[in-house]
Amino acid sequence: MTTANDPKMRAAKLSCWSGAVDPEPIPGGLTNTNFLVRDRGRSYFVRIGEDDPFHNILRFNELAASRAAQAVGISPAVIHSQEGVIVTDFIEGRTLASDDVRDQKTLARIVPLIQTCHRDIPTNLRGPVSMFWVFHVIRDYTATVCQANQEAISEMDMFLAKAANLERSVGKTNIVFGHNDLLAANIIDDGDRLWLVDWDYAGFNSPLFDLAGLASNSELGADAEMHLLTAYYGQDPDRDLLTRFHAMKCASLLRETLWSMVSEIHSTLDVDFAAYTRQNLARFDREYEELERTT
């Protein structure tokens, strides 16, 4: 295997190292391959990944977001970059789990991280960056699924109809710069502070998507959702905001379902995406039915 085709060899040969290094694989990447590299007494995180058109991932956008997030102090420093590679400082800490996010004290620490992302990153961005509008993503994913499987057209048409209802329910929105992938695993606690990492899907968006995504990804209960919205907006949410939030939560779950369906078709990873699809589809169906019942 050539260096260009071997992620570990590619990571080892980067020009930023002082000499020979031995990259240690870090499991868990679904759109990139990750390594820990120790050099000159410091530790670095190496992300190897090309553009992924099926998931609308553009690495120049990820790099711009990473640098802006570094500038506002919520993400580790970018040390080196080249085509398909981003090297950052390695954060020694504990990756959060969903149980952590559901803890009220931890959730209260996460909200300022989101607010800083939304409020401060735009003034530090340089160059072209993406717009992440979940309803466009849903439309694009359904088209990708239909191209691969004509038998799925009727199911995709049903998803599109529901997505259109959700988009109307979300209505007009202010625009912020979103992380757009607020999984617990993308937040690291170093013992003193929280860090936000993995900017694959970053882009301008409604603030509701990050809030709803955090809630759906970590399965927050109703009380925790109220704490989240109150902390973010500085006041108790009214009925209109709650409806828009729950519509975006449904959209987040539908996007995750379709992300998994597209991954079933195109990913080469040994992951049970079919099971993940079923899990998220069941959760979407429940949330959508509840939204219809209460509005």
Residue 232's SS3 state is helix
Q: Determine the pLDDT at residue 1.
A: 46
| β-strand pairing of 176-178 with 24-26 | unpaired
- What average pLDDT score do residues 11-34 get? 92
CATH 3.90.1200.10 in the chain is located at 94-294
**Cβ atoms of 90 and 76 closer than 8 Å:** yes
Q: Convert the pLDDT of each residue in 231-243 to its tens digit.
A: 999 999 999 999 9
Among the residues of the chain, which ranges form H helices?
A: 7-12, 59-71, 98-102, 104-120, 134-148, 153-170, 207-217, 222-233, 239-266, 273-294
Diameter over CA atoms, the chain = 62
Average pLDDT over residues 2-15: 86
Tell me the CATH architecture of domain 94-294: Alpha-Beta Complex (3.90)
Q: Which of 31, 140, 49, 135 is nearest to 86 (CA)?
A: 49
Nearest alpha-carbon partner for 184 in 153, 224, 147, 149: 224
Domain with CATH 3.30.200.20 in the chain: 3-89
- Please give the pLDDT value at position 3: 56
4 pLDDT more than 70:
no
Output DSSP code: residue 275.
H
In this structure, of 100-104, 147-151, 227-231, 268-272, the range with the lowest mean pLDDT score is 268-272
Mean pLDDT across 134-153? 97
CATH of 3-89, one of 3.30.365.10, 1.20.120.10, 3.30.200.20, 3.30.505.50: 3.30.200.20
Say yes or no to pLDDT of 126 above 50: yes
Looking at the predicted structure, is the pLDDT value of residue 112 above 90?
A: yes
Do residues 244 and 224 lie in contact, with contact meaning Cβ atoms separated by under 8 Å? no
